[in-house]
A and B are shown apart, each in its own frame.
Chain A
């Protein structure tokens, strides 16, 4: 391997700051999915809050990303949370009316429902946010490819993940070119807004051109070839991670089955 290859691989799996970061991406992904599904299936307040408090929070603290996680999940869920609260509080039918705003009655049942949705949302967004904050997206996709995901799908996934940073980079380049030719994008807000419009078309167009060029570049390097590939690099994985994943999966199946069959009564 050349020096550049080694550097590239090290960027994918940097010397990570915590043992949670160092978990295999697939393990972290499964944990996030299991926690989210369990929170929704169990319902009520106690279940989702227990998952949040006993699984997600300690893991985030261990990874040292607690503050960032709270910030990210608040930003991501706030718009949904506000609309969910408004809709369920005011439109849910119920017998006990708390107060009235215009034609809308706020009922106790509505407030209760909104609360239950909120705790699920908090658990879901922090579980997935924790995965996102502790995992390099490309490392996750490469790991999936090692587990048998088709290279085409893996490419589509990485291309999507990288499309946004690539477009931002492209926008920066075009903006520099436009500024160098007298387009004012500094200074007053009105100037800045005016400066955005001439960016949109070129960024979209050049992204399309780039897709075509990238496809050609991949094809001339035998991307479409069938059969297994040899990967230069695999994501590290501790020996106990596979059993842990099976345990997680089994617990999830039991919870879902118990709730569906009614063997597990609803808890508040």
Chain B
């Protein structure tokens, strides 16, 4: 299992944008963590450092205490699987099956074992019947699921999801939630970037809030979405999930999820 540590991470893009401005973050192995923040706050830049696609301008990225500076992306890919936000920047193969098999094949998986991991990943995202389809013939939400499957098949100890629920209907979101739960059950680390506050509050015990390349808040959803922190959240252009807003209006305290809101209502009635 892989523990992640970021120390003083700064990233300045060649044209001068300071996308990360000193980020310190520790993520123990097996944790499930969500990163939220408005567009341009540095979330994607941050996760692209975890597998070496971007290299720090300053600061360090440690996997299990080891600085990854000297490790190649191809090597890091065995530890950190990154599902891109835009599936079209990730998908390149002419067949769904080939797309999913690309990662595990690079890791040396062959034959029946390869068929099995590809089949499992496609089943998990509900694309088992589309193995011979051209990815371009799938709709956007299914291409996103395909991108997810192509990372799942690599069975990396860390899985990073960049906006996994965008464009998904209720069934798609349920699928993503089930996958996240299954990954955690296997002891793997899940890091998700999301604008879907309901998804974040329901699924992630730890929420990190970013603004202008820095971490401005870090805690469980009950704390991050608590009424007294609405101002801080609003400064990042975000609005708490509906359950938290209703709870706050009713003076019920922190109710980040539907479940918490209903429980608070029941207690209140008594």
Q: Please, which residue of chain A has its CB at the minimum distance from the CB of B107?
A: A182
A206 within 8 A of B: yes
Interface size class of B (residues with CB under 8 A): 20 to 34
Q: A176-B53, A187-B72, A205-B94 given as contacts; is B103 within 8 A of A182 (CB)? A: yes
Residues of B within 8 A of A187 (CB): 72
Q: How far is the CB of A182 from chain B (nearest CB, A)?
A: 3
Contact of A182 among B92, B106, B136 (CB under 8 A): B106
Contact of B74 among A174, A177, A179, A206 (CB under 8 A): A179
Pairwise interchain contact B92-A179, C-beta atoms closer than 8 A: no
Residues of A within 8 A of B107 (CB): 182
A180 vs B73: C-alpha distance in the bound complex, in angstroms?
6
Q: A183-B106, A205-B94, A209-B136 given as contacts; is B72 within 8 A of A177 (CB)? A: no
Interface centre among A179, A185, A187 (most CB of B within 10 A): A179
Q: How far is the CB of A128 from chain B (nearest CB, A)?
A: 31
Q: Please, which residue of chain A has its CB at the minimum distance from the CB of B102?
A: A181
Residues of B within 8 A of A202 (CB): 92-94
How many residue-residue contacts, CB under 8 A, span A and B? 58
Interface residues of chain A: helix, strand, loop or mixed (majority)? helix
Instruction: Kindly specify which of B77-85, B122-130, B190-198, B201-209 makes contact with the partner chain.
Output: B77-85
Interface size class of A (residues with CB under 8 A): 20 to 34
Interface centre among A173, A182, A183, A201 (most CB of B within 10 A): A182
Q: How far is the CB of A12 from chain B (nearest CB, A)?
A: 19
Q: A177-B84, A179-B53, A209-B136 given as contacts; is B74 within 8 A of A184 (CB)? A: yes
Residues of B within 8 A of A184 (CB): 72, 74-75, 106
List residues 170-203 of chain A with CB under 8 A from any CB of chain B: 173-174, 176-187, 198, 201-202
Contact of B77 among A179, A198, A205, A209 (CB under 8 A): A179
Residues of B within 8 A of A205 (CB): 94
Pairwise interchain contact A180-B106, C-beta atoms closer than 8 A: no
Residues of B within 8 A of A178 (CB): 92, 102
A179 vs B53: C-alpha distance in the bound complex, in angstroms?
8
Can you list 14 A-B pairs with a CB-CB distance of less than 8 A? A174-B92, A177-B84, A177-B89, A177-B92, A179-B74, A180-B73, A180-B81, A180-B90, A181-B77, A182-B74, A183-B74, A184-B75, A201-B94, A202-B92
The 9 closest A-B pairs by CB, nearest first: A182-B106, A202-B92, A181-B103, A184-B74, A182-B77, A179-B73, A177-B90, A186-B72, A174-B92
